[in-house]
Amino acid sequence: MLPLWTSPDIAAATDGTANGDDFAVAGVAFDSREVGPGDLFVALSGEATDGHRFLDQAFAQGAAGALVSNDTPHPSVRVTDTFAALENLARAARTRTDARIIGVTGSVGKTSTKEALFAALDRGAPDAAHRSVKSYNNHTGVPLSLARMPAAARFGVFEMGMNHPGELAHLTTLVRPHVAIVTAIAPAHTEFFPDESAIADAKGEIFRGLEPGGTAIIPYDSPHRDRLIGAAQPYAAKIVTFGTDNAADVHPIESMALKTGGTFVTAKIGERELSFTIAQPGAHWVFNALAVLAAVDAVGGDLGLAGLALAELGGLPGRGARLIAKVNGGEALVIDESYNANPASMAATLAVLATEPGRHIAVLGEMRELGEGAPAYHAALAEPLTAARVEMALLVGEQMAPLAQALEGKVKFVHVPTAAAALEVLPDMLAPGDAVLVKGSNGVGLSRIVAALAGGMA
């Protein structure tokens, strides 16, 4: 296999100086804990720490070379600024590839759509599709994901996030997508925006980086549809809408819930029809799948194989993965949605919980970065909670107080300040046959609860 980068390539891309023996790398990492054999370690310097402190650790773990701004005895390329050099390496990766590139953003569904897109494209072009790993979608994650893209890739799928205006405008100039998707607009990071229209404007920045002849994919059912279309028109040669309305360019003709929890769908994609199964449960996954098929069609992928990939797609850790936990002499289903939360995704996953057999238990962490509207957004979760027939709610975090008040006399609940406190009381709440949803903003730390359940906490 050809190396991902050689030290002369890295030096040329970053305007750096190679030191020590020439080296070749198979991957790129900026977290020393994630460095593997043959990787390039990028020693980023930030407010909290300096990657140069971990050079010895990175090389002990098998790094082949490093990108540095300080002297080091290790094989390296020295630059003035390692963050700027990482961005330049990303630009070089984007310039050297002939891959069809897809950018994905939105208030909800970014990572799920990105992973489903990768699976769909990889099904038709094995080992020739590339995507952002985990949720690396910010100012460091996007250039890292680009720098990791092999030159011979046929497809690249990149997730792009933001919590302030202007962030996507920059990221999209790095990714330069041929296809740009906005999955949905919903209250998220509202602490930094005056209203949802401002969120839509910030998400619409993704279209500014479209390559000539590019395609914008927009949610038809969104109240911000026309705003997004207006943002796309100056940059997109083609605008494709997706959604449940028959007027959308990509929409379901019929859909049927399956006993397995998934959905069988016949969809209209332009002038064609495709019948396929979605393995993941929930109406939001039908919506995600329509965006995926629109993008696969836009980059010339195989729609039939994309449909097969959707039928095989498993849940992602923290984003819908399912596990069976041992509880009090029996077993319970755990739905792991612990990675993130906002009002829209909370409602969607509670609707999934509603379809499960057994007693419904919801472990919900506070939703962060919602600004002045946070109390109202939390209190409003009472409606989807009661609709999901939740019999016991474990509420985690101070911002859950308005929801606790709204649930008085409606749903049994326990309100605790931290994930650690939740771990102390949860075992006594669970019984065999329960269906347990675990969801909250990542900073709440509910992944600890999922890990404990997986390890047989009870």
Binding residues for ATP: 106-112
β-strand partners of 390:
360
Residues near 48 by Cβ (< 8 Å), separated by ≥ 6?
Answer: none
The backbone region for 315, taken as left when phi is positive above 0, alpha when psi lies in -120 to 50, beta otherwise, is: beta
Residues near 64 by Cβ (< 8 Å), separated by ≥ 6?
Answer: 23, 24, 25, 26, 37, 38, 39, 40, 75
Q: Helix/strand/coil (H, E, C) string of 69-111? A: CCCCCCCEEECCCHHHHHHHHHHHHHHHCCCEEEEEECCCCHH
| CA geometry: angle 205, 113, 287, nearest 5 deg | 95
Annotated binding site: 106-112
Question: Distance between CA 166 and CA 146 in Å, rounded?
Answer: 20
CB 65 within 8 A of CB 25: yes
Joined tokens for residue 453: 């359940």
Question: Distance between CA 457 and CA 441 in Å, rounded?
Answer: 22
Q: In the block, which residue shows the tokens 């305007």?
A: 15
Beta strands in 258-315 (DSSP E): 263-269, 272-278
Strand duo 5-6 + 24-25: pairing: antiparallel
Distance of CA 133 to CAs 9, 112, 177, Å?
Answer: 23, 12, 17
